[in-house]
Structure 1
Amino acid sequence: MKRILLSAFALSTVMTFAQQYGGMWIPTEVNEKEMKELGMKISAKDIFDPTKASIKDAVVQFDGGCTAEIISGKGLLLTNHHCGYDNIQSHSTVENDLLTNGFWAKDMNGELPNPGVTVDFITDIKEVTKDILAGTDNLSGADLSKKINDNIDAYKKAQKIESYQTISVRPMYYGNKYYAFVIETYKDIRLVGAPPSSIGKYGSDTDNWVWPRHTGDFSMFRIYADKNNKPAEYSKDNIPYTPKHFLPISIKDKKEDDFTFVFGFPGRTTEYLPAIAVEKIMLETDPAMIAVRDIALKTLDEKMRVDPATKIKYASKYARVANYWKKWIGEVEGLKKSNAVEKKKQYEQMLISKNPGIKTTIDQLTQKYNEQAPYNLHRAYYSEIVRNSDTFTLAGLFNNYIQSYEAGKMDAKNIDALKARLADIYKDYDAELDAKVTAKILALYANKTEAKFLPKDFDQLKNETRNLGMMDNVSKISMITGRTKDDNNVAKNMDKLFADQKTLVENLKKDPLIQMFGAFKTSYLETTDKQVTALQTDIDALQKKFMAQQMETDKDRKFFPDANSTLRVTYGKVRGSNPRDAVTYGYQTHLAGVMEKYIPGDYEFDLPKKLINLYNTKDYGIYKDKTGDVPVNFTATNHTTGGNSGSPALDANGNLIGLNFDRQWEGTMSDINYDPRLCRNIMVDTKYILFVIDKYADAKWLINEMKIVK
């Protein structure tokens, strides 16, 4: 028994050591040795080879933000339901609500075009540091930026590319290296299929960032090309794109410690910050933002619980506010639990022991971060006040309108855009409820903010009860709340309101809420904005130096660049977790768990009757695993972030086994400090995806396109 336990411990230790820094690797520079040690069977060239077909030819950036992958020889694309959500919504009507009912084309003729949607292939990646940094040795500040930009322009002009290709040159390692990406963009992307939101968004707000998860977060599109298989604008004459490579789909059972890797376009990470920066995030800025949203969410929830109409009206806004609130709470807890600051300090001391000159850089960074801290804290409170008060958001829009009008910049196009933005806010705006939110968060702001940052008379806002009365009185005489009986009520008579812009601007300038917001914004710009920016310029220069020193000094560490929305590979193992004392999570959920959460009529946990019938009759076909149930989601130790939504999760042989869509709450600090004990990415199992397509949607014609690995 002891030998078994020791072996298990040794395996865990080896795995943890191999992944101690996580990794979002440029595909031409993957850590192939470690990947093979963890179980990868294919080569790095199989993943990315610019000279021939490889897995990179099946992975695209979807619509500028998410990732998607090609899963058939006819250009069939798989991405997340939440990545395709806007496009599904754009095809929905009251009579045919595709978000509620789902959509499945019966054949290619039934696939729906999506104007403006694009997918980007990366066909080549080259390091171009020498070209871009040529002649910059003695430059700094604006002169350095100008020279780099000139060099980038010169490099791009010197390259021979096709008319449908572009080149993007991106800095890595805080500007110590530069890489050029050759991009091919396809513009005819059609909607093929999507489950109803009751599958695709199952558990939407409550389960967001949470494990165990039971969400079928996928949708399907198809790339179309011209008759020569090249990119083209939408045309009925276009044909399905023939890819250089598409992903076979594995429906083999998963086991804990199976190797997996994720290939996609992660958005942004900051893994190489000094200890002082992480400490400020953990102890100051994250808690400040959490505190504002705490108050906003509690205030909204009080009314949503007793008023069904408000619950419906504010469901989407509540979810938006709660999204990063929950993420930041997990981030703070994870940074503390992983002892991130102390680990950073120990690492810095190790670097100093090898290279004493690094101490000067760290001391300078510490000084600059301490200088910036009060301004950063004020920025955190200010930005969250504006984001979480619809009243202030409206005041800000009208304040910008006044400035644009007086500068002669409000043409018909800009006015239409403003009307659309205002209409979007007003349709779900409860002036009385938002006045309460605003009054309460202003009290927090006034109490937590240093006096030197407060606008004149804002120290009077420290009393929440007084604020509630003040906001009520001010709201009654404010145009922007839409509560007046004036014929120019902006919420209901927008066209009439904007008919006489001169008079409108005169009236808006007298509006007490706009005056209040104006003082708020002016004070922020004068006391904080420029100071944060100036100090950040200094910090960025020091961070670039610190990054170079780390890479020069720590020869035992293989470095990867922070994520910046460029194509990356990350890898790990299928694994559950033990995030807290006496709490253990398995690595796999099943359809039975979907049914356990089922609440008839609930906006998060309702289910379509057909899925319930499939469960009751156990009509699972080839998609059940050894338990006799259909696997739904699973977790692994892949290092992912935003932008990885829709990324393929692949097995040791490069077969598709899952679709990345989220992270586990306890490990959301992975953007700053990856820890394999706590960090887990969450994926939809390919068995569940195929089960929904085949058994639920009866779209066997799509299954027949795919290569299924049994």
Structure 2
Amino acid sequence: MKLLRLLFIFLSVPLFAQQGGMWIPSLLEGMNETEMKNLGMKMSAQDIYDINKSSLKDAIVHFNGGCTSEMISNKGLLLTNHHCGYSQIQKHSTLENDYLENGFWAKSLKEELPNPGVTATFIIKIEDVTDKILAGVNPEMEEAERQKIVEANIASTVQNSPKEKYQENRVRTFYEGNQYMLFVVETFKDIRLVGAPPSSIGKFGSDTDNWVWPRHTGDFSLFRIYADKDNRPAEYSEDNVPYTPKHFLPISLDGVAENDFTLVFGFPGSTDEYLPSIAIDQVINTINPARIAIRDEALAIVDKYMRADPQIKIQYASKFASIANYWKKWRGETTGLKKSDAVGIKKEQERQLTQEIKKKGKTSEYGDLLPQFETYYTQIEPYKLAREYFTETVLRNVELLRTAFQAYQLKNSFEQRGEQSFDDRRDNFLNSARVKYKDYNTQVDKEVFEALIALYAKKVPAQFLPDSFKNLNVQTLTENVYSNSAFVDYDKLKNLMEGDAETVIKNLEKDPGFQITKELADAYFNKVAPDYEALDLKIKGLERDYMKAMMELSPKDARIFPNANSTLRVTYGQVKGYSPADAIYYEPVTHLEGVMEKYVPGDYEFDVPQKLIDLYNKKDYGQYAEDGKIAVNFIGTNHTTGGNSGSPAIDAHGNLIGLNFDRVWEGTMSDYYYDPSLSRNIMVDIRYVLFIMDKYAGATNLIDELKLVHPKKEKSKKKKK
């Protein structure tokens, strides 16, 4: 039985009742705490979240706004994924000191490398402020009017809620606008690179193994948080000192076994578990195919150049990984949604919900929700398709267009806010561009541009295209842009941006790269965005009422969890294998033997460092082995998504046992539909992390910082006594 069937009171007793969910850590007492203890947890809900004393939540860090990380020492040592730190590792890499290729290990604090712009955010407090945010709202309001009142109340709550000067208040919505929570946070800005394995370990299997089980990837990197002399957030300074956290995670050396309790604590980015069937059908048949087709073209071109040129490989390593990650995820997601018959299951849920609405006399309140969904999703589909093509082409995959779009925004800034706004944004734009052009190759981008513009002209509904696309010669356009535009070179761009605002804009209007970007942007903002946004606003209002109906018509103990929204969440489960197809069963733990089985000398995805081979041959594993083997990765039933990368996997006692970094291919549809038989998250075994740090890298200075424990062995000793 599928998880979302649990939502409705009229369904039979569910199977897998203790699976799935991304829960708010301040609200775990009661049902969640009982479930976790039934799964084997030995802690209390207060051990996980407490505002009066240190708890697990004080060790969990939002890394640079996109990943999760955790404190693992009392000297500010921070652990996250290799792919979360990849951009920083890449920025410090050169052909002479290629940290992506060779790894990096600071043997002292002085050797640690600063990373301007990188942040680490702690959650200090979570408070329900729903009544404050919804004050003045009533059901008869138009959606736009309601939104204005909510936004004003959010601004007032953020401004007037107590906090320290060095803290920040944030309000986030839950349950599609039925609940609001206030987060008090502290953000640190002096974050230094401490250690990273070579990509042949940290990215072993690369794109071939991404989203696939069995995995054998040492996906970790180490940073350190620095603070001022008062242990508070501060900009980078040589006078800053390592941060002393309120809590850091002890590390278990006992390993994992099937059915062991696992808690994953982190900042999941975005899920849509409660979409209606028509929306899921649209994802499967319209949106994902468009996204995949665009990235198919871009990735094939970039990959060709990366394989042929080591310099381009360094320049595009991080960008390629970022583009490829969700390309593969969308493919698996579509496959999983079809295999699980998510659309059919949701249609049955909707049929039963309709019956329950009638039974409870709620037809006037909720009876037209599903018909309206059908109407608005049908209307929005062509606009949504055009939006995806614009976003993927202009804002993500063609670098010239992305940079020129920022110049387009500069022009708009001048027209709307004047010269001062233009000057301020121009400086930021040029500073950002200077960094980006370090990793820019004109020929690569030119081929991507030509391929994606051709696809854009063919696939975007004709009514949304720029007028110039009616008789478009893509090859001629491409040659003109990349031969004559200043956006192919930083120095040329800098010269183009000199002068007062009117002069700059006049020069921009003559640039062919800016011209095509302006045509695409004007067409999108005039022909697509207004109707898309109006329809989307109506759909969001329906989703809020739909969520309210499910919550209202479900029993008090129904397991309805809020969608992910990059706020701190707990997901719990167990170490478990799974069966992806008939007669196939995957064990839950992989070992170093599997790395050697996949080893292909010289291959950029499956090469293995000689030192790791030597350690394997000698079985020189130190204290990190179990039964003469080194565990590398393991899987569990924790409900994770993007943003959970780097999240700690925590055992029943609150110790670190692993590092979340991926999901299995068959279960990537869990952002829309969690299937407990297929959905598994993938984690690095913490003992593999320690083995690489200690035996491979010789970073004993870092090992000495850690608190290593043996909870299973201690429990066994107590039993014998």
Measure the CA separation in 2 of the matches of 1:683 and 1:32.
Answer: 23
Shift of 1:606: 3.1
Distance 1:247 1:274 in 2: 40
Equivalent AA in structure 1 for residue 48 of structure 2: I
User: Per the alignment, do residues 526 and 262 of structure 1 end up closer, same or farther by CA in structure 2, a change over 3 Å counting?
Assistant: same
Matched, 1:429 2:429: no
What is the distance in 2 between the residues matched to 1:702 and 1:447? 55
Are residues 682 and 428 of structure 1, via their aligned partners in 2, closer, same or farther at CA, if it must alter by over 3 Å?
Answer: same
Residues in 2 aligned to 1:229 and 1:317: alpha-carbon distance in whole angstroms = 35
Question: Shift of residue 410 of structure 1?
Answer: 4.4
Q: How does 1:3-14 map to 2 (within 5 A)?
A: none
Partner of 1:7: none
- Is 1:388 paired with 2:397? yes
Aligned: 1:29 with 2:30: no
Structure 2 CA distance for aligned equivalents of residues 473 and 189 of structure 1: 43
SS in structure 1 of the partner of residue 706 of structure 2: coil
Pairing 1:452–2:463 present: yes
Are residues 696 and 457 of structure 1, via their aligned partners in 2, closer, same or farther at CA, if it must alter by over 3 Å?
closer
CA distance in 1, matches of 2:664, 2:318: 22
Matches within 5 A, 1:138-287: 139-226=141-228, 228-234=230-236, 238-287=240-289
Separation (CA, whole Å) in 1 of partners of 2:116 and 2:450: 42
Deviations 1:85-139, CA, capped at 9 Å, x for gaps: 3444455555544443333333445444445444322232221211221222254
Match of 2:4 in 1: none
- 347, 359, 372: which one pairs with 1:364? 372
Instruction: Tell me if structure 2 keeps the 8 A contact 1:295–1:440.
Output: yes
**Distance apart, 1:45 and its partner CA:** 1.7
**Deviation readout 1:456-483 (Å, 9 max, x if unpaired):** 353445xxxx644x3466457643585x
What displacement does 1:291 show?
Answer: 1.7
The aligned runs of 1:402-551 (5 Å cut-off) are: 408=419, 410-411=422-423, 414=426, 417-418=429-430, 421=433, 424-425=436-437, 428-431=440-443, 434-456=445-467, 458-461=469-472, 467-468=474-475, 470-471=476-477, 474-475=480-481, 478-480=484-486, 490=489, 493-498=492-497, 508-511=508-511, 514-551=514-551
Report the 3-state secondary structure (helix = DSSP H, G, I; strand = E; otherwise coil) of the residue aligned with 1:632: strand
Give yes or no for contact 2:411–2:422 (8 Å, CA) kept in 1.
Answer: no
Q: Distance in 1 between matches of 2:49 and 2:532?
A: 40
1:377 aligns with 2:409: no
Answer whether contact 1:74 1:243 (CA < 8 A) is retained: yes
TM-score computed with the length of structure 2 as normaliser? 0.86
Measure how far apart 1:302 and its partner are.
Answer: 6.0
Establish whether residue 634 from structure 1 lines up as the match of residue 640 from structure 2.
no
Per the alignment, do residues 516 and 71 of structure 1 end up closer, same or farther by CA in structure 2, a change over 3 Å counting? closer
* Ranges in structure 1 where 5+ consecutive residues have no aligned partner: 1-12, 483-489
Residue type of the partner of 1:176?
N
Partner in structure 2 of residue 17 of structure 1: 16
> In the alignment, what sits opposite 1:681?
681
Q: Deviations over 1:668-690 (max 9, x none)?
A: 21111111222221111011011
C-alpha deviation, 1:445, in angstroms: 3.4
Shift of 1:622: 1.6
**RMSD of aligned residue pairs (Cα, Å):** 3.2
How far apart in 2 are the matches of 1:302 and 1:155?
52
Aligned partners of 1:346, 1:296: CA distance in 2, in Å? 39
Contact 2:95/2:311 (8 A) holds in 1: no
Contact 2:227–2:234, Cα closer than 8 Å, also in 1: yes
1:400, distance to aligned residue in structure 2 (A): 4.8
The Cα of 1:537 is off from its aligned counterpart by 0.9
Q: Distance in 1 between matches of 2:453 and 2:528?
A: 18
The residue type equivalent to 2:24 in the other structure is I
Q: Deviations over 1:219-270 (max 9, x none)?
A: 2233344555444555555554443332221121321222211011111111
Distance, in Å, in 1 between the alignment partners of 2:178 and 2:408 is 41
- In the TM superposition, what whole-angstrom CA distance separates every residue of 1:291-329 from its partner, at most 9, and x where no partner exists? 222233345556667778876765555444322211111
Contact 1:333 1:666 in 2 (8 A): yes
- CA change 1:132–1:397 in 2 (3 A) is closer
Which amino acid in structure 2 is aligned with residue 671 of structure 1? D
- CA distance in structure 2 between the aligned counterparts of 1:115 and 1:76, rounded to whole angstroms: 18
* Partner Cα distance (2:92, 2:299) in 1: 32
Amino acid at match of 2:397: N
Alpha-carbon distance change, 496 to 71 in structure 1, aligned in 2, over 3 angstroms: closer
The superposition leaves residues 318-359 of structure 1 with CA deviations (integer Å, 9 ceiling, x where unpaired) of: 444322211111111111111111111111222222113233
**Which deviates more, 303-312 or 393-402?**
303-312
CA separation in 1, counterparts of 2:493 and 2:233? 42
Q: Is contact 2:226–2:240 with CA below 8 Å preserved after alignment?
A: yes
Conserved 8 A contact 2:574-2:636: yes
Post-superposition offset of 1:429:
2.9
Give the Cα separation in 1 of the matches to 2:695 and 2:482.
56
Q: Percent identity?
A: 54
Amino acid at match of 2:661: F
Check the 8 A contact 2:195/2:221 in 1, yes or no.
Answer: yes
Residue 332 of structure 1: SS of its match in structure 2?
A: helix
Shift of 1:82: 2.4
1:548 deviation in Å?
Answer: 0.7
CA distance in 1, matches of 2:549, 2:427: 51
Match of 1:164, as an amino acid? Y
Question: Which shows bigger deviation, 134-143 or 44-53?
Answer: 134-143
Q: SS in structure 1 opposite 2:182?
A: strand
CA distance in 2, matches of 1:78, 1:307: 32
Contact 1:41 1:652 in 2 (8 A): yes
- Determine the C-alpha separation between the residues in 2 that align with 1:661 and 1:67: 10
CA contact (8 A) 2:446 2:478 kept: yes
Deviations 1:619-678 (A, max 9, x none): 00121122x221111111111112111111011222111011122222221111111222
Q: Is the 8 A contact 2:57 2:123 kept in 1?
A: yes
* Farther off after superposition, 35-44 or 388-397: 388-397
What's 1:4 paired with? none
Q: What is the SS of the residue equivalent to 1:549?
A: helix
8 Å contact kept, 2:645–2:660: yes
Conservation of the 8 A alpha-carbon contact between 1:394 and 1:480:
no
Partner residue in 2 for 1:664:
664
Q: Structure 1 residues 422, 571: closer, same or farther in 2, change over 3 A?
A: same
Task: With the length of structure 1 as denominator, give the TM-score of the two structures.
Answer: 0.87
Query: Structure 1: which amino acid aligns with 2:276?
Result: P
Distance 1:702 1:311 in 2: 30
2-structure distance, mates of 1:310, 1:242: 40
Secondary structure of 2:674's counterpart equals coil
CA distance in 1, matches of 2:249, 2:668: 29
Aligned residues: 683
Aligned to 1:570: 571
Give, in whole Å, the separation in 2 of the partners of 1:422 and 1:187: 21
Residue 699 of structure 1 corresponds to which residue in structure 2? 699
Contact 1:80 1:645 in 2 (8 A): yes
Moved more, 577-586 or 544-553: 577-586
Deviation at 1:367, TM superposition (A): 1.1
SS of alignment partner, residue 367 of structure 2: helix
The CA deviation at 1:546 is: 0.9
Q: Distance in 2 between matches of 1:242 and 1:304?
A: 41
> CA offsets, 1:485-538, max 9 Å, x none?
xxxxx5664555555787875565345554444333322222211110011111
